[in-house]
Amino acid sequence: MRFTGIDKRLLTHIDFAVLGLTITLAIIGLISIYSATYSNNPATYTRAQYWFIISLVLLTGAVVVNYHFLERYAYIIYGGSIVLLLLVFAIGKSSGGAQRWLDLGFLSLQPSETAKIALIIMLARHFSLKNLAGRGLDIKDLIVPGLIFIAPFFLIMKQPDLGTSIILLSIFCSMTLVVGIRLRTIIAIGVALSAIMPFAWMSLKDYQKARLTSFLNPGRDPFGSGYHLLQSKIAIGSGGFLGKGYTGGTQGKLMFLPEHHTDFIFSILAEEWGFIGASIVIFIFFALILKGLGAAASSKDRFGFLLAFGISAMLFWHVVINIAMVTGLLPVVGVPLPFISYGGSFLAVIMTSMGLIINIRMRRFIF
Query: Which runs of consecutive H residues, i.e. helices, occur in 158-264?
Result: 162-179, 183-203, 206-214, 227-239
Q: In the predicted model, is pLDDT for residue 66 greater than 80?
A: yes
- Model confidence band, residue 4 (pLDDT cutoffs 50, 70, 90): very low
Mean pLDDT for 40-64 is 91
Q: Please report the DSSP string for 116-169 in residue order.
A: HHHHHHHHHHHHHT---TTPPB-GGGGHHHHHHHHHHHHHHHTTT-HHHHHHHH
Whether this model's pTM surpasses 0.95: no
Q: In the predicted model, is pLDDT for residue 253 greater than 80?
A: no
Mean pLDDT for 341-364 is 93
Give residue-wise pLDDT tens across range 164-215: 999 999 999 999 999 988 888 888 888 888 888 887 777 777 766 776 676 6
pLDDT at 96: 64
Give residue-wise pLDDT tens across range 216-227: 666 666 656 677
Q: How many CB atoms lie within 10 A of CB 193?
A: 10
Rounded to an integer, what distance in angstroms lies between the CA atom of residue 5 and that of residue 366?
A: 14
Rounded to an integer, what distance in angstroms lies between the CA atom of residue 90 and that of residue 249?
A: 41
Amino acid in position 47: R
Q: Nearest Cα to 58, choosing from 354, 270, 343?
A: 354
Q: Are 171 and 119 in contact (CB under 8 A)?
A: yes
Minimum mean pLDDT range among 21-30, 35-44, 82-91, 322-331: 35-44
pLDDT mean across residues, the chain: 87
Total number of residues shown for the chain: 367
Q: Are 55 and 113 in contact (CB under 8 A)?
A: no
- Residue-wise burial string across 264-274, b where 16 or more C-beta atoms lie within 10 A, e elsewhere: bbbbbbbbbbb
- Model confidence band, residue 148 (pLDDT cutoffs 50, 70, 90): very high
For residue 277, the surrounding DSSP H or E stretch is helix 265-298
pLDDT at 51: 94
